[in-house]
Amino acid sequence: MPSGGTDGRSGAAIAQEANRFNETVAATVTRVTTSMWFLYGLVCFVGLWMNFAPGLGLDHAPSYPVMLYWVNLFQAVMLPVLAVGQSVLSRASDARQRHEAEVVDRLDHLTRRILKLEEENSALRQMRHRHHEELLGHIHALSTQVQGLQGADPGGAGAAPGPRVEP
């Protein structure tokens, strides 16, 4: 018989799922209640309640001590939720920052590698250009030698010399 829940999950898995749920709720409440739109809505609600409830003849018209009680109660309830939410959001921000730092490090490594490859490529191009110039010089020298040999050849344009007969 499995320990923990009735669906076969262990106690640690259930606790982890509950913790994840609590953190999600705390982060969501923190995002909502720390926005300026929440503050605007709260101010409008309290202002409307304080100004229009007595004129409408409502029995639950607020008095200042009652308002103070509700504000203090709201603060007392929200303080631990906001603290947990800030902790969760801070951990998420730290994880995002670590990931971004790793990405920047990888990009830095790749950039350095690209620069090194570009330097090697430039050196190879210079070497190729130098060898090309040397090859052209050798071709020119050979061409000059061939032309010199052809000019000294009495038999014509590059004809092979025949046997020499002496009288």
Q: Over pLDDT 90: what percentage of the chain?
A: 25
Residue given tokens 């969501």 in the structure block: 28
pLDDT at 80 > cutoff 80: yes
pLDDT at res. 162: 52
pLDDT at 107 > cutoff 90: yes
- Residue 31: band (very low, low, confident or very high) from pLDDT cuts 50, 70, 90: confident
Q: How many CB atoms lie under 10 A from the CB of residue 9?
A: 15
Residue given tokens 């130098």 in the structure block: 130
Report the distance separating Cα 47 and Cα 107, nearest Å. 54
Residue 48 identity (one-letter amino acid): L
